[in-house]
Amino acid sequence: MTAIASPAEVPVQRRPRPVVVEFMRQQPLGAASFVVIVAMMFAGIFAEWVAPYDPLNIDFAGILAPPSWEHLTGTDAFGRDTFSRIIYGARTALIIGFCSSLIGSTLGLLLGASCAYFGGRVDMIIQRFVDIMLAFPIIVLALVVVAVLGKWQVLGIDVNLIFAIAIPIVPNVTRIVRAAALSVRAMPYIDAARAAGYSHARIIGRHMLPNLMAPYLIMLTAYIAQAILLEASLSFLGLGVAEPTPAWGLMLSGNASDFFAEAPWMALFPGIAISLAVFAFSLFGDALRDWLDPKFKT
Partner 1 sequence: MIRKGTMALAVTAALAFAGGAVAQTPKKGGSLTFAISAETPHYDCHGSDTYATLHFAAPFYSTLLQFDLPKYPAIKGDLAQSWTTAPDQMSYTFKLHPNVKFASGEPLTSADVKATYDRLRAPPQGVVSTRVATFADIGAIETPDPLTVVFKMKAANAAMLAHFASPWNCIYSAKDLAADANSPKVKINGTGPFIFNEHVKGSHVSGKRNPNYFKPGLPYLDEWKGVFMLQAAAMLNALQGGQVLAEFRSLAPPERDRMVQAMGDKIRIEESSWTLNLLVTFNTERKPFDDVRVRQALVMAIDRWGGSQGLARNSTLRHVGGVIRPGSPLATPEAELVKLPGFSKDIRKSREDARKLLREAGVPDLKFVLHNRTIPQPYTPAGIFLVDQWRQIGVTVENKQLETAPYLAGLNSGNFDVAVDFSNLFMDDSSLGLTKYLSLGKSAENRSRSVDAELDSLYERHMRETDVAKRKQLIQAFEKRLFTQAYQQPLLWWHRIVASHKVVMGWEMSPSHNLGQDLAQVWLNQ
Shortest distance in whole angstroms from residue 113 CB to partner 1? 39
Q: Please, are residues 200 and 273 in contact by the beta-carbon 8 Å criterion? A: no
The stretch among 145-153, 181-189, 194-202, 282-290 that binds partner 1 (CB under 8 A) is 145-153
Q: How many residues bind partner 1 (CB under 8 A)?
A: 25
Q: How far is CA 230 from CA 100, 120, 190, 197, in A?
A: 10, 34, 38, 44
Candidate list 39, 110, 149, 237; residue touching partner 1; CB under 8 A: 237
Q: Please, are residues 170 and 108 in contact by the beta-carbon 8 Å criterion? A: yes
Candidate list 32, 39, 50, 79; residue touching partner 1; CB under 8 A: 79
Candidate list 21, 140, 156, 275; residue touching partner 1; CB under 8 A: 156
Scan residues 86-125 and list those touching partner 1 (CB under 8 A): none
Q: Please, are residues 169 and 226 in contact by the beta-carbon 8 Å criterion? A: yes
Cα gap 140→160, rounded to integer Å: 16
Q: How far is CA 229 from CA 102, 124, 190, 235, 286, in A?
A: 15, 32, 39, 10, 17
Candidate list 212, 253, 278, 287; residue touching partner 1; CB under 8 A: 253
Q: Report the 10 Å Cβ neighbour count for 216.
A: 20
Q: Is 259 in the site for partner 1 (CB under 8 A)?
A: yes
Scan residues 52-71 and list those touching partner 1 (CB under 8 A): 56-58, 60, 63
Q: Please, are residues 131 and 193 in contact by the beta-carbon 8 Å criterion? A: no
Candidate list 258, 272, 275, 296; residue touching partner 1; CB under 8 A: 258
Shortest distance in whole angstroms from residue 235 CB to partner 1? 12
Which stretches of the chain bind partner 1, using CB under 8 A? 56-58, 60, 63, 77-79, 150-151, 153, 155-156, 237-238, 242-244, 253-255, 257-259, 261
